Structure 1
Amino acid sequence: MPEFPHDDTTTNPFAAEPQDRLDANPRRAIVTGADSGIGRATAVALAAAGVDVALTWHSDETGAQETADEVRTHGARAVVARLDVTDIPACGDVVDGLIDELGGLDVFVNNAGAGLQTPFLDVALDEWNRVLDTDLTGPFVCLQRAARAMVAAGRGGRLIAVTSVHEHQPMVGASAYDAAKHGLGGLMKNLALELGHHGISAVSVAPGEIATPMTGQTDTDPRTEDRPGIPLGRPGDAREVAALIAFLASPEAAYISGASVVIDGGMLQMGPQAGAAVDTHDWRTL
């Protein structure tokens, strides 16, 4: 049986240091869109793991302060700032400021996003640009600033983007959203290629339907919701997504990069099955 070669950093210019940078416990994170839903749950999950968190909000400052209060109950530091990812490139300056306030950055979670339910033929250019700026161009600027700080610090780091199952499969009426999420997923794969030798991993998390304010399910227990089209029969809980993100930020996930991790209760597997069950053309319209 062949043996794995011994670690020899003299033969590999990109080999990790004896104390692998990616194996270090993260200490400082930024989570965008953390005033509610997946962002709030993620900030709290990271805090519970001993990580100081800078969290951002766009329109709900009260919600962000409530998230910060919950973060602090875990003994972690919380920093709060307003972030408008459509304000380009100023959104990157907000990220730079948060990194300075935290004293560095180990994990960046791009969670802020927006959707659009409009048939393709009716999408106005300004609507298209708003979704692309929110879900792709703004995240590009923020991820770039985070990555630059990680490279300069030389400690490695984790870049995690919350995309969607629609990074992988489209949905009628969501052309702009689908295009943006496909693009963000592709960007994360590129970051994995380009930044790996700096000890920086890049991963997408692709949720299906999650019970959050964004899906009109504020304070809803997803286990009380019936979803025949999802194999597990219910929407997901934001805390389930947060647990996945916290794992991806942990030392145990050090070798995961360039992947898109789907968390959807099996929804994507229903594509052919659902197609076979459809007996009308109603799905062609909103």
Structure 2
Amino acid sequence: MTELISLAGRRAVVTGAAQGLGKAIALRLAEAGADLIIGDLDESLAAKAAEDITRRHGVRAVGCAMDVTDTSSVRAVADRAVAELGGLEIWVNNAGIFPSVPLLEMSDETWAKVLDVNARGSFVGAREAARRMTDAGTGGVIVNVISTAGFRGSAPGLAAYVSSKHAVRGLTRELALELAPHGIRVLGVAPSHVPTEGNIAAATAAGVPAEQLSAMALMMTGPIGRPGIPDDIARVALFCASDLSAFMTGSTLLADGGTTA
């Protein structure tokens, strides 16, 4: 069992990993033995996260600036993984945005930005990871962090977000077909709403009062009987990245406490 879950000797990139869900995923991958690149728009925060991960788990972790909407930035991170870590076997597309704007008020620019970050960002990340994995001949795993919004409508104001997550779920299935001959598996993880620094800040910026945020968490509690935490999702991501899921590709795993049941 230890060998099945071990990531010792493997190298990973996690996007949007300076805090929240991305950092939780990076911590679990590191605990299993992976060396990592922590990519984030905030380079300083990424560096601090990398230092924390190295201190906790003794792996090599490197924080770097990364903009998933900039193809050259994504390529640079992929190249850095190969150059500094010695290879690339795991790529986690976690970076995403979720502005809440009613359809009648949504601008073309807002729609395009959400699709650019969430959908195109995942596509570019997967493509650049797959190129390096195929060049090395090692195979690997690509994990897309999707959402229960990739299975259904979510809430008013999230037309762009829901559309982007349906797109990434479809991308996951298609890439699994295309990349299987190269020994690359592609899996999705679909969390329900999990409080993180990012979505709390977004809700606060949108004027949602703190008491309403608490009520939202309770409303989203499924049959398991409690709201999720980032580590709940990170454990599923670790399962996807490890050999425990060796016979799986193309699937999107719901990590939602049963809210989509």
TM-score (ref. length: structure 2): 0.86
**2:258 corresponds to which letter in structure 1?**
G
Quote the residue 2:207 is aligned against: none
Q: Deviations over 1:16-69 (max 9, x none)?
A: xxxxxxx9866100001111111101111111111101111113x343233212
CA-CA distance at 1:170 after TM superposition: 1.2
CA-CA distance at 1:228 after TM superposition: 6.4
Match of 1:68 among 43, 50, 61: 50
Contact 1:83 1:94 in 2 (8 A): yes
Secondary structure of the equivalent of 2:143? strand
Quote the residue 1:133 is aligned against: 116
Contact 1:31 1:111 in 2 (8 A): yes
Match of 2:229 among 234, 237, 248: 237
CA-CA distance at 1:246 after TM superposition: 0.9
In structure 2, the CA distance between the partners of 1:75 and 1:170, relative to structure 1 (3 Å rule), is same
In structure 2, the CA distance between the partners of 1:228 and 1:145, relative to structure 1 (3 Å rule), is closer
Q: Is 2:104 the counterpart of 1:121?
A: yes
Rounded Cα–Cα distance in structure 1 between residues aligned with 2:168 and 2:75: 17
Rounded Cα–Cα distance in structure 2 between residues aligned with 1:201 and 1:80: 25
Rounded Cα–Cα distance in structure 2 between residues aligned with 1:248 and 1:173: 31
Rounded Cα–Cα distance in structure 2 between residues aligned with 1:143 and 1:106: 12
Match of 1:256 among 241, 248, 255: 248
Q: Structure 1 stretches of 5 or more lacking a match? A: 1-22, 270-286
Rounded Cα–Cα distance in structure 2 between residues aligned with 1:258 and 1:135: 18
CA-CA distance at 1:193 after TM superposition: 0.4
Quote the residue 1:153 is aligned against: 136
TM-score (ref. length: structure 1): 0.79
The alignment's C-alpha RMSD in Å is 2.2
Q: Is 2:33 the counterpart of 1:50?
A: yes
Spell out the pairing of 1:71-86 with structure 2 (5 A cutoff). 71-72=53-54, 73-86=56-69
Secondary structure of the equivalent of 1:243? helix
Rounded Cα–Cα distance in structure 1 between residues aligned with 2:45 and 2:227: 23
Higher normalized helix content (fraction of residues): 2
Rounded Cα–Cα distance in structure 2 between residues aligned with 1:191 and 1:151: 13
Rounded Cα–Cα distance in structure 2 between residues aligned with 1:97 and 1:129: 28
In structure 2, the CA distance between the partners of 1:115 and 1:150, relative to structure 1 (3 Å rule), is same
Quote the residue 2:166 is aligned against: 182
**1:32 corresponds to which letter in structure 2?**
T
Q: Identity over the aligned pairs, expressed in percent? A: 38
Aligned length: 242
Larger-Rg structure: 1
